[in-house]
Amino acid sequence: MTYHAFAKVNIFLKIVGKRGHYHELQSRFMRVENLYDVLVLTPKKTEEPFELHGEFGCALQQNTIYKAYVALQEAGFKAALTALFDRYSLTVEKHIPSFAGLGGGSSDAASFLHLVNDMAALNLDHDTLAQIGIKVGADVPFFVYNYHSANVSGIGEIVEPFEEPPLKLDVFTPNIKCNTAEIYKAFREHYKIDLELSDKMSHMKSKTLLETYQDYELNDLLSPAIKVNKQIEDYRKKDWFFSGSGSSFFSMKETDKNG
């Protein structure tokens, strides 16, 4: 059984408040159809209770798929997980760059939740999977719902589909690892919230947004990201936009720019 875990970009991202240790946001997430990781179940080879293979660059306990595995256990599905992973291991072919603002880890976790839901016949609806997923990461609910485009708010738990044609996108990720915590800290210290602009953007189509606003207007995290890591400035260019806390940039393909 094979599952695709798609990347996303933030067409716009506005910080609108703070809730405890978390920042509240309004954002338009759009799925990138031509960039995805691949999750594959294969026969088990070891005695490990959860056998996971892939080039992740982190310890198992920090891996979002493992965190989703734990979250499912805590939600009461330990027996179903044990039965499934007594027989199978999970291999992930990584294509989405890590620490890049593209949601690769969150997408992997969401696809894992769907995989287990299907293969273990849990029969959970999307809302229930999203409630489990938010414990893993703020972006996981968006990927659980499988929307092409959605307005995402709160700390990521509010996902509302946005009806529009999906854009064809090019993505470029420079070899820069952005520290999300430092970037949010720089925003708090140096930049202001604009609730009126955020609300206006949430009603506009993505193509119109990209044609109307500058990159720093669309993404509140671009300017603080440059303040934290000046190298990012070297990769800015016309008609390319910053995704999340970076370091990826994206652009509409020529067919969508001219269409």
pLDDT tens for each residue of 34-49: 999 999 999 998 889 9
| 215 given a catalytic annotation | no
pTM of the model: 0.93
Ordered alpha helix ranges (H), 123-251: 126-133, 140-145, 180-190, 195-202, 206-212, 215-218, 222-228
Residue 258 pLDDT grade (very low, low, confident, very high; cuts 50, 70, 90): low
Q: Tell me the C-alpha distance between 205 and 124, whole Å.
A: 32
8 A C-beta contact, residue 78 and residue 41: no
Q: Is the pLDDT of residue 256 over 90?
A: no
CATH fold group of domain 2-161 = Ribosomal Protein S5; domain 2 (3.30.230)
Per DSSP bridges, beta strands 52-53 and 88-93 are parallel
The active-site residue out of 37, 139, 185, 256 is 139
Q: Is the pLDDT of residue 21 over 80?
A: no
SS3 124: coil
Weakest mean pLDDT among 78-82, 150-154, 181-185, 196-200: 181-185
Strand segments (E) across 112-174: 149-154, 158-161, 169-172
The second-level CATH assignment, the architecture, of 169-258 is 2-Layer Sandwich (3.30)
Average pLDDT of the segment spanning 194-198 = 94
Ordered alpha helix ranges (H), the chain: 64-72, 78-85, 104-119, 126-133, 140-145, 180-190, 195-202, 206-212, 215-218, 222-228, 254-258
The active-site residue out of 8, 67, 108, 220 is 8
What angle is formed at CA 193 by the lines to CA 135 and CA 12, rounded to 5 degrees? Answer: 65
Domain ranges of the chain: 2-161, 169-258
Task: Dig out the tokens for 202 from the structure.
Answer: 């949430």
Task: Dig out the tokens for 77 from the structure.
Answer: 């599905």
| 199 given a catalytic annotation | no
